[in-house]
């Protein structure tokens, strides 16, 4: 077992859980849906962590994690349209649910299987078509939500939230698509450092929540 890979997944579980709980505790509807999405991501990372610890259960862990991750995209999408008219929110949410069902169906029938390399790296090993679908889903759901959430913060905190989460999205795309060990190491460290900055700042700085 690669300890650095295990630490990466464990830290992601804790970071997304802490951030999710903090956002969910706010009265603002945008924050609540964003927080729920992060908590679902925490559960997804927990499932994938179990797969890393117990390779014989890797495939079922990947499937459970994928379902949780896809559902989180619906909540990110809902956060991004929280200020829209109720009919628009319902329409966008319905389209989002249909999209993730389609992604799951196509991905579930993908003959490529996730695996752990001899070096201990975890690869989703998605086919190019499924990679494309996940990247479209990830970016279309998260980026508008991140922009809206960040707009509620002031000054430097808005910059941290906006670009911190954008970096996480970009790094996540690299984890989905790359099989280069050096790229994965760099992306993993970037994700870890940014998550550390985000959760320590938003959990322990009262000034951060003096939102617009």
pTM of the predicted model as reported, rounded to 2 decimal places: 0.92
Domain around 32: 3-209
CA atoms in the 13 A half-sphere facing the CB of 139: 12
pLDDT at 14: 95
Number of domains in the chain: 1
- C-beta of residue 78 within 8 angstroms of C-beta of residue 84: no
pLDDT at 143: 95
> What is the residue-level pLDDT of the chain in tens, covering all 212 positions?
778 888 999 999 999 999 999 999 998 889 999 999 999 999 999 999 999 899 888 889 999 999 999 999 999 999 999 888 888 889 999 999 999 999 999 988 877 788 888 888 888 888 899 999 999 999 999 999 999 999 999 888 999 999 999 999 999 899 888 888 888 889 989 999 999 999 999 998 878 887 66
Residues 6+ apart with CB under 8 A from 111: 127
């Amino acid at each position: 077992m690669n300890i650095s890979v295990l630490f990466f997944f464990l830290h992601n579980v804790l970071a997304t859980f802490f951030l999710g709980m903090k956002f969910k505790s706010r009265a603002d509807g945008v924050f609540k849906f964003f927080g729920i999405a992060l908590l679902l991501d925490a559960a997804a990372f927990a499932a994938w962590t179990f797969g890393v610890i117990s390779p014989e259960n890797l495939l079922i862990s990947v499937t459970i994690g994928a379902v949780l991750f896809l559902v989180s995209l619906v909540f990110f999408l809902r956060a991004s349209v929280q200020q829209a008219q109720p009919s628009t929110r319902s329409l966008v949410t319905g389209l989002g649910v249909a999209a993730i069902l389609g992604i799951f169906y196509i991905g579930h029938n993908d003959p490529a299987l996730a695996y752990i390399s001899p070096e201990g790296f975890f690869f989703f090993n998605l086919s190019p078509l499924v990679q494309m679908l996940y990247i479209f889903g990830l970016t279309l759901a998260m980026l508008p939500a991140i922009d809206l959430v960040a707009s509620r913060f002031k000054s430097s905190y808005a910059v941290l939230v906006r670009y911190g989460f954008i970096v996480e999205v970009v790094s996540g795309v690299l984890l989905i698509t790359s099989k280069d060990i050096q790229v994965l190491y760099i992306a993993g460290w970037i994700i870890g450092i940014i998550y550390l900055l985000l959760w320590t700042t938003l959990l322990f700085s009262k000034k951060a929540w003096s939102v617009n």
